[in-house]
């Protein structure tokens, strides 16, 4: 028993002791979770036949939210481009363009009013951040 409670500790393995323990724990829990899920699914299958009609009714009551592909993919692409562009074109220019584009994307239409909103949002936000953080507080901006 005494041997079990002892951990081999040398200078060169200091950095692996704790991560190993954590990985063991994680794997153990992962296996238990998978088994639990499989068991649960089998249980559901057994009872599913009885509740089929009931389930269908629930589905009708709650139509699934539609996945908005344009907005989701658009956000991801804009974020990634924004990250790279910050390095290439600096904070002011990139941020103004980024806010205009995201605001337009989220409004969902390009008309006079939307463009006006997006440009004023972009200009105001960027200028305030640039002046207050960049100039006044001297924070390093991208």
Tell me if 71 sits within 8 A of 106, measured CB to CB: yes
Does residue number 88 form part of the binding site for another protein (CB under 8 A)? Answer: no
Cα–Cα distance for residue pair 4/27, rounded to 1 Å: 20
| Closest CB to another protein among residues 48, 108 | 108
Q: Which of 39, 43, 51, 83 binds another protein (CB under 8 A)?
A: 83
Alpha-carbon radius of gyration of the chain: 27
Scanning 29-37, 44-52, 54-62 for contacts with another protein by CB under 8 A, the matching segment is 29-37
Out of 44, 71, 116, 131, the residue judged to bind another protein by CB under 8 A: 71
**Binding of another protein at residue 125 (CB under 8 A)?**
yes
CA 60 to CA 30: how far, in whole Å?
A: 34
CB of 133 closer than 8 Å to CB of 95: no
Q: Which of 47, 58, 87, 112 binds another protein (CB under 8 A)?
A: 87
Could you give the C-alpha distances from 78 to 26, 38, 70, 73, 81, in angstroms and in order? 35, 39, 12, 8, 5
Neighbour count for residue 100 (Cβ, 10 Å): 19
Interface residue list for another protein (CB under 8 A): 5-9, 11-12, 14-19, 22-23, 25-26, 29-30, 32-33, 36, 65-68, 71-72, 74-76, 79-80, 82-83, 86-87, 95, 98-99, 102-103, 106-108, 117, 121-122, 125-126, 129, 133, 137-142
């Amino acid at each position: 028993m005494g041997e079990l409670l002892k951990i081999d500790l040398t200078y060169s393995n200091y950095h692996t002791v704790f991560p190993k323990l954590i990985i063991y724990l994680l794997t153990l829990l992962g296996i238990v979770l998978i088994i639990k899920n499989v068991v649960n699914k089998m249980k559901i299958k057994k009872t599913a036949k009885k509740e089929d009609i009931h389930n269908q009714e629930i589905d009708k009551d709650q139509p699934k939210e539609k996945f908005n592909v344009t907005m989701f993919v658009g956000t991801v692409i804009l974020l990634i481009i924004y990250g790279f562009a910050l390095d290439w074109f600096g904070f002011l220019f990139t941020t103004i363009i980024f806010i205009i584009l995201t605001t337009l994307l989220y409004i969902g239409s390009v008309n006079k009013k939307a463009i006006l909103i997006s440009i004023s949002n972009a200009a105001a936000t960027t200028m305030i951040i640039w002046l207050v953080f960049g100039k006044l507080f001297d924070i390093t901006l991208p």
